[in-house]
Amino acid sequence: MLKPLSAYHWPCNISMEDNSSIEDSAVRDFLLWLRVEKGRADSTIESYKRDLKKFLEWVTQNNLSMKTLGGNDVIRFLRDLQEMGYSESTITRTMVSVRSLYMFMDIEGLRTGNPTKSIELPRVPKGLPKAISEDAVNELLSAIEGDDSVARRDRAILEVLYGTGARITELVNLSLGDIDQTENLLKVLGKGNKERIVPLGRFAMKALKDWLAPAGRGCFEPEIWKSRDDSEALFLNRRGGRLTRQGGWGVVKKYGAKVGLGSSLSPHTLRHCCATHMLEHGADIRTVQELLGHASITTTQIYTKVSRDKLIETYRSAHPRALL
């Protein structure tokens, strides 16, 4: 059973318009439910919010009501998105958001039935993860020169991203108490507030210890902390605040540009590399699933296709009976 909506407290960044309509209120209630009951991340909430704002605007422009809107209206919305040039992946994501909203409205008694239930969504083929070679990763890590505080922080960031397969949001949300330096373990809070413990390899652990030394993180610490969250943050910006997701991205892109990887490198690329390189070296797929925090093993299995392609390529170039 869902809690009554009156039991929730509104986060300020979930609000829609000040002069809210009934439709706006339903969306606000839904977004709040996603956060409080489902534990969805801020980035996920923002994605739903953008999609549903697009839908609400369309409903208003066509003089419709979410309470009486039918399946044919939803199909019209879908076709309008296609005519506006949105990609299939964007349309599918938007329709998933709309479908979830109507499921919520049905459960809450805000309307009867879900007009999206029988509508088939566009099928979006799953793209293969884009990983770079081990040599390219080593070149990237070697691009961090010097031993000053910035170099120590940046080296630790890249080593942890590649060494643990952590998402960039997971990395910047790490706190000092999440590291077990005795057992070389890291506590990571993933999607849906699911906690997992991941091992830290020798290089990642050394980089973290160097960063946590007075000549590393100590140089970023202010005389007076602005907040307790900043004081507990593992990674800091130069102003002594917790490093943001955008700041973490900037670190990765900085060294990617330095070694000529450019747009082919992102924090998620290092996550892909962690999984792909482990599988290529014989790691069990269940182990990789646990390390990355995938809820379903089918998500992890995408990486087996990448490794299989590498196997076929190597076989065809090396086996005497496969040479052309």
303 counts as catalytic:
yes
Q: What's the pLDDT tens digit per position in 285-315?
A: 888 898 998 888 777 877 776 666 666 676 6
196 counts as catalytic:
no
Q: What is the mean pLDDT of the chain?
A: 86
Where do the structural domains in the chain lie, given as residue ranges?
5-108, 134-318
Q: What's the pLDDT tens digit per position in 214-271?
A: 999 999 999 999 999 999 999 999 999 999 999 999 999 999 999 999 878 999 999 9
Q: What's the pLDDT tens digit per position in 256-295?
A: 999 999 878 999 999 999 999 998 888 888 888 989 988 8
Q: SS3 sequence, the chain?
A: CCCCHHHCCCCHHHCCCCCCCHHHHHHHHHHHHHHHCCCCCHHHHHHHHHHHHHHHHHHHHCCCCCCCCCHHHHHHHHHHHHHCCCCHHHHHHHHHHHHHHHHHHHHHCCCCCCCCCCCCCCCCCCCCCCCCCHHHHHHHHHCCCCCCHHHHHHHHHHHHHHHHCCCHHHHHCCEHHHEECCCCEEEEECHHHCEEEEECCHHHHHHHHHHHCCCCHHHCCCCCCCCHHHHHECCECCCCCECCHHHHHHHHHHHHHHCCCHHHCCHHHHHHHHHHHHHHCCCCHHHHHHHHCCCCHHHHCHHHHHHHHHHHHHHHHHCCCCCC
Domain 5-108 sits in CATH 1.10.150: yes
Which of 130, 191, 206, 209 is catalytic? The answer is 191
Q: What's the pLDDT tens digit per position in 78-101?
A: 889 988 988 888 888 999 999 999
Which of 206, 209, 268, 310 is catalytic? The answer is 268
152 counts as catalytic:
no
Can you give the pLDDT at residue 306?
Answer: 66
294 counts as catalytic:
yes
Topology of 134-318 in CATH?
hpI Integrase; Chain A (1.10.443)
Which of 167, 217, 242, 272 is catalytic? The answer is 167
Q: What's the pLDDT tens digit per position in 171-214?
A: 999 999 999 999 999 999 988 788 999 999 999 999 999 999 99
191 counts as catalytic:
yes
Q: How confident is the model at residue 125 (pLDDT cuts 50, 70, 90)?
A: low
